[in-house]
Amino acid sequence: MSRSSEKIARKPRADAARNRERVLEAAKAVFSAGGADASLEAVARRAEVGIGTLYRHFPTREALYEAVYRREVDQLCDFAEQLKNERKPVDALRRWLRSNVEFVATKKGMSAALAVAAQASPELRSYTFGCLTRSAAALLDRAVAAGEIRSDVSPEDLIRTLIGMCYMHDQPGWQANVARLLDVFIDGLSVSEQRLATTSKPSRSGNPFSERKKRRD
C-alpha cells in the first residue's frame, strides 16, 4: 500500500475519533445544563454532527451516558496525577476537589439514565469510587506528609463530604456555593489553622471587653 493510500485509510479513523470526542464534550455541556434541552438531538447540534453520527458511536442513550461518565472519571484521575507535582500539596488537594464539582454537575444532569447504565454495567460504581478514592488518597497523603493537613482524615471522608455538599445544593449557581464551602472545609483541616486555634489564649477574665477596660483604667 502506498503512503498516500495509507493516509486515506487513516483519515476516516482520525475523523471518527475527533467526532467521538466532540460528541462527548458536547454531551458533558448539555447534560450539565440539564433541563428540557438535555436531549441527544441537542448534543448532536452542539457537537455539530448529524444524529446518525452520534448513534454510530453510541448506539443507545445509556452508552453515551456511560461514556461521558467514564471520561469524566478518567480525566479527574489524570488531573490528580498532574497535581502530584504541585509545590503546595494543600493547594493541589483543594484544586482537585474543586474540579470534582464540575463532574458532579454533569452527573446530576444524567442521574436517571446513569441508574440504568449502572444496572447494565455493575462495576461502574465501584470503578468510579475506587479511582476517585485512590486519587484523593495520593493528594491527601502528600498534604499530610508536608504537615499541611491533619492526619485523622481519610480519602473516603473527603469524597463523602464533597458528595454531600454537592447534593444538598440544587439551586442555580450551586457550584459556586459548593466551591466556597470546599474552601472553608479545607481551611478547617489545615494544620496551621488548628495550631492557631490551640495556641490562642482567652483573656484571664474570660471577657475581652473587660480586659480592654482594665488596660484603659
Flag whether pLDDT at 46 surpasses 70: yes
CATH of the domain at 121: 1.10.357.10
Q: How far apart are CA 14 and CA 181, in angstroms?
A: 42
Tens-place pLDDT, residues 152-164: 999 999 999 998 8
Residue 146, SS3?
coil
Question: What confidence tens digit (pLDDT) does each residue in 161-213 have?
Answer: 998 898 887 777 788 889 999 999 999 999 864 444 543 444 434 443 344 34
> Do 113 and 167 fall into the same domain?
yes
The count of structural domains within the chain is 2
User: Which residues form the domain of 13?
Assistant: 9-59
| 140 and 181 inside one domain | yes
